């Protein structure tokens, strides 16, 4: 269980471990591992399934066709891609883009869990079934499939952190399907709404603290700093 895992406590250590990882057979066929990217103080974390061909080639998450759609959906919701942290459940491309196997997901879990612990996101958006299942498992809530679970918010306790989880479909499922595309775009608008609502609540709740000088350190500028973690 998670209590016995040793997590990475610095981003540098974590990314170095991902780059040299041989915990599962996926390392044999990868061109580049794909740790993830984005600000290390992002409030929102997006989690996909696994790198595809373009990601494997570039070493960056969501830079192929599905990634371009994700970026468009983010921008359309008013969320700059550069403001969120994006990663995957597994960090190396499964051959022929097959779904990652349970033992590969388990072998890679310490990396995802360490990322969550280092980032401490307020919101996690899961993209598709593999990410939804994994994150709900970490939050000890039964996953009943993305079709049933999406469109709602779940406040989960993940590794001791209170996180709002918003499951949505995988952008690859929306590539050639206009109604799925609408779902993705609308779900991301909800992400923006939740982010704004949290900020709004804080504006009311924190009063003059909001004009306090920045302290330096992580998230010094964010209203969300004033939310107490449960």
Shortest CB 103 distance to ligand URA, Å: 18
Main-chain phi, psi angles of 155, to 5 degrees: -95, 110
Return the range that interacts with ligand URA (CB under 6 A); candidates 24-32, 43-51, 143-151, 217-225.
43-51
Query: Which of the residues 96 through 115 are near ligand URA (CB under 6 A)?
Result: none
Helical ranges in 59-177 per DSSP H: 65-77, 102-119, 128-138, 146-149, 171-174
| Unique residue bearing structure tokens 């799925």 | 180
| Residue 126, both tokens | 């899961």
Shortest CB 157 distance to ligand URA, Å: 25
Query: 50 or 119, CB closer to ligand URA?
Result: 50
Residue 36 makes contact with ligand URA by CB under 6 A? no
If one counts every other C-beta atom within 10 angstroms of the C-beta of residue 125, the result is 28
Taking CB atoms, the residue at the shortest distance from ligand URA is: 48
x/- binding map, residues 47-86, to ligand URA, per CB under 6 A? Answer: -xxxxx--x-----xx-x-xx-------------------
| Unique residue bearing structure tokens 């970026």 | 71
> Rounded to whole angstroms, how far apart are CA atoms 48 and 169?
10
- CA 215-12-50 angle, to 5 degrees, is 110
x/- binding map, residues 169-208, to ligand URA, per CB under 6 A? Answer: ---x------------------------------------
Shortest CB 132 distance to ligand URA, Å: 12
| Residue 116, both tokens | 């969550």
> Rounded to whole angstroms, how far apart are CA atoms 132 and 146?
7
Shortest CB 203 distance to ligand URA, Å: 34
Residues near ligand URA, by CB under 6 A: 48-52, 55, 61-62, 64, 66-67, 88, 172
């Amino acid at each position: 269980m998670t209590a016995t895992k040793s997590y990475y406590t610095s981003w540098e250590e974590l990314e170095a471990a991902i780059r040299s990882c041989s915990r599962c057979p996926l390392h044999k066929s990868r061109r580049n591992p794909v740790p993830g990217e984005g600000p290390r103080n992002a409030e929102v974390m997006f989690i996909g399934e696994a790198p595809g061909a373009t990601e494997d080639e570039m070493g960056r998450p969501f830079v192929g066709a599905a990634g371009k759609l994700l970026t468009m959906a983010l921008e359309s919701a008013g969320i700059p891609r550069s403001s969120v942290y994006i990663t995957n459940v597994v960090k190396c491309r499964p051959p022929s883009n097959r779904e990652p196997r349970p033992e590969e997901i388990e072998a890679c879990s310490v990396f995802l869990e360490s990322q969550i612990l280092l980032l401490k996101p307020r919101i996690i958006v899961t993209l598709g079934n593999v990410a939804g299942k994994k994150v709900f498992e970490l939050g000890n809530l039964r996953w009943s499939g993305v079709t049933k679970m999406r469109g709602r918010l779940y406040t989960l306790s993940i590794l001791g952190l209170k996180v709002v989880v918003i499951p949505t479909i995988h952008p690859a499922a929306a590539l050639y399907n206009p109604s799925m595309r609408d779902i993705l775009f609308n779900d991301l608008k909800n992400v923006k709404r939740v982010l704004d609502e949290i900020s709004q609540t804080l504006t009311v709740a924190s009063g003059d603290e909001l004009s306090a000088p920045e302290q330096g350190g992580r998230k010094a500028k964010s209203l969300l700093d004033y939310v107490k973690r449960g």
